[in-house]
Structure 1
Amino acid sequence: MKKFLALILSVAMIFALVACGSKEGDTPNTDGDTQQTDTPAAPVDIVIATGGTTGTYYAVGNALVTTIGDKLSLSKLTAVDSGASKANVQLVTANQAQMSILQSDVLNYAHNGSGGETMFDGAADKNSLWVAGVYNETVQLVTAPSITSIEDLKGKTVCVGDVGSGTALNAAQVLEAYDMTFDDIKVMYDSFSGGAEALKNGQCDAAFTVSGAPTPALTDLATAYNFNMPSLSDEAVSYLTTNYPFLVQDNLPANTYTCVADETVCVAVKAVFTASKDLSEDVVYEITKAMFDNQADLAKAQAKFGYLSPEGAVAGSFDLHPGAEKYYKEIGVL
């Protein structure tokens, strides 16, 4: 009987030791589970809304993706076509895109709830924040040879772009700098290609376009028509850049077009990369830094990146994304 009790006690002690060992062994396993949850988060998927597939915005967006995409650890970039500036603001707000390319004036209209009923009047949208202005889209005015100044436009037929277009808004701003409105001219609404054709055929006296210079349509027009490009006065430039901070001075060099022998003083809006306010500071900082670290390769991929510079990227800027702002402060341009 004593032997039997001793056997029972021995078995009980063995089970107790095994149980203790199991509890002690649980701790490393728990630690191991904790270590597994510390692995880096997966890269954030970022869709970049650009423009039409034949346009510059689409080419610029795709160049960004192919050039810096594999250099990012925090995000994965994809460029998609879109309806361009206004549509891109709306896509970011709907979270169908997280970044975009658009005109700086359209971004301003969105943030301020302005720009007329064709833009954002009374419906401010502040979801897209400035990352980098890449290149200028110049407000260009071409005129008949008899017109040598902006003041000469009074009473003349002027093509101001399509109804409700950004070009029409910029044309009105230029006239405003000379104390004029659309009431002081005979307004023609048409695309720039239509306006250029009307100018060549004598059906209008001047036409506005907003585009990167040299603009192919103007280069072609110069081969068939000897147009003028009146410069803005210093006072007009000061008025425009003060009252419309999204506008920057942009001087076109002599012979940008074969029929224009002198430098032309203009203003321009910026083609701007924006990011959703919901993207983290770290993600946008990494993208911004990668753009400038790889600027030479970007310029080889798409010529417009040849205009990218830290100073130019913040010219006319407002409401910078915190990630972009961190980078610009780090390199001393802010």
Structure 2
Amino acid sequence: MNRPSRRAVLAAGLGATATALAGCSRHPRPVRRLRLATGPEGGPYNAFGKALALAVGASGLPLEIVPVSTAASVDNLRGLDEGSAELALAMADAAEDAVLGRDSFPTPAAGVTALARVYVNYTHLAVPAGGPVHAVADLAGRPVAAGAPGSGVRVVAQRVLRAAAPAGGAAPADERPLGLAPSVAALRDGAVDALFWSGGVPTPSLSALARELPLRFLPLDAYVGPLRARHAPVYTAVTLPAGVYGLTDPVGTIGVGNYLLARADVAEGVVRDLLRVVFDRWRDLLREVTAGARLEPRFAISTGRVPLHPGAAAYYRAVYG
């Protein structure tokens, strides 16, 4: 019987030790599992969350991101404040409301912090191109899909409708609390005369609808000033470009930033690791969310009244000075 030589035994032992050490070096810390409150299935927040989970999973970090489907911004901020999620995506206006304790938030959400402003939502107000609605004021008494309860779409839709209402009057529309998919179906079927949406450009379900039903997108840029004065400077003037949704001319509308947020008690090292992945893989993260967007540090740190997480502040100082 041939016995292995001492040299072979030692080599095998050293190889096993090296393999074990390599495994330890890949995961020197326990894997941290973070729940990320996103949005409804098929929506841009959900797509971003799934892409981030895949990017973190491929990074080799001892970190797992678990996307959680929600109604979106307002629900996400409540979950972050209550501790049912460690991370969240939310529109800037809803995030400032949460931090300041106003409108949907009766008390300030003290533990909500920002990691980055990741991209801008474009407010869409779509009506059938052959219909009688040409301006927000024409929606008086008409059924309008105004976003699902707990969503950021609903926040901006209600603010636009109230800004368009006569002084002391009611909102100039019959608001229907519908998410994107039910809104698209309702507009297609004639159950509503208009739909609000806030998201990237183009939004695939609206592109699909425009191929079935020619759409008119109402200009909303005139409401940027009133919304900024009444609510927050998070609102900006942006443009739906010609070519999307069959538009022959650009349409001015309202832009609202989207924030990646975290509870303040998430460890600083975890936040730094996560942001490294976000900035390394931003093209993959935004590919299914909005065309042509870029993630740049000077843009990412613009989070208004929502304070940066200490780990995020340390990351930006270390990497960008």
TM-score normalised by the chain length of structure 1:
0.70
- What letter matches 1:125 in structure 2? A
Give the deviation of 1:91 after TM superposition: 3.9
Alignment gaps of 5+ in structure 2: 1-26
CA gap 1:94/1:289 in 2 versus in 1, 3 angstroms:
same
Match of 2:12 in 1: none
CA distance in 2, matches of 1:128, 1:248: 23
* Aligned pairs (5 A) from 1:268-287: 268-287=255-274
Match of 2:135 in 1: 149
Match of 1:8 in 2: none
Match of 1:137 in 2: 121
Give the deviation of 1:140 after TM superposition: 0.9
Match of 1:225 in 2: 213
SS of corresponding position for 1:172: helix
For these two proteins, the number of residue pairs brought into alignment is 286
Alignment gaps of 5+ in structure 1: 1-39
Amino-acid identity (%):
26
CA distance in 2, matches of 1:320, 1:65: 22
SS of corresponding position for 2:159: helix
SS of corresponding position for 1:223: helix
Match of 2:251 in 1: 264
Q: Verify the 8 A CA contact 2:147 2:197 in the aligned structure 1.
A: yes
TM-score normalised by the chain length of structure 2:
0.73
Over the aligned positions, Cα root-mean-square deviation in angstroms equals: 3.4
SS of corresponding position for 1:111: helix
- What letter matches 2:214 in structure 1? N
Bigger Rg over Cα: 1
SS of corresponding position for 2:212: coil
Task: Provide Cα deviations, 1:267-287, integer angstroms capped at 9, x if missing partner.
Answer: 233332111211233432332
Match of 2:17 in 1: none
Q: After TM superposition, what 4+ stretches of structure 1 lie above 6 angstroms from structure 2?
A: none
CA distance in 2, matches of 1:294, 1:157: 41
Task: Provide Cα deviations, 1:273-311, integer angstroms capped at 9, x if missing partner.
Answer: 1112112334323322332133345457x5559634124
Match of 2:238 in 1: 250
Match of 1:126 in 2: 110
Q: 1:292 aligns with which of 272, 279, 282?
A: 279
CA distance in 2, matches of 1:169, 1:54: 20
Q: Verify the 8 A CA contact 1:72 1:287 in the aligned structure 2.
A: no
CA distance in 2, matches of 1:283, 1:193: 35
SS of corresponding position for 1:100: strand
- Is residue 2:91 matched to residue 1:98? no
Task: Provide Cα deviations, 1:140-188, integer angstroms capped at 9, x if missing partner.
Answer: 1012443333343345443323456543321121134445487252314
- What letter matches 1:124 in structure 2? P
Q: 1:77 aligns with which of 52, 56, 64?
A: 64
Give the deviation of 1:47 after TM superposition: 0.7
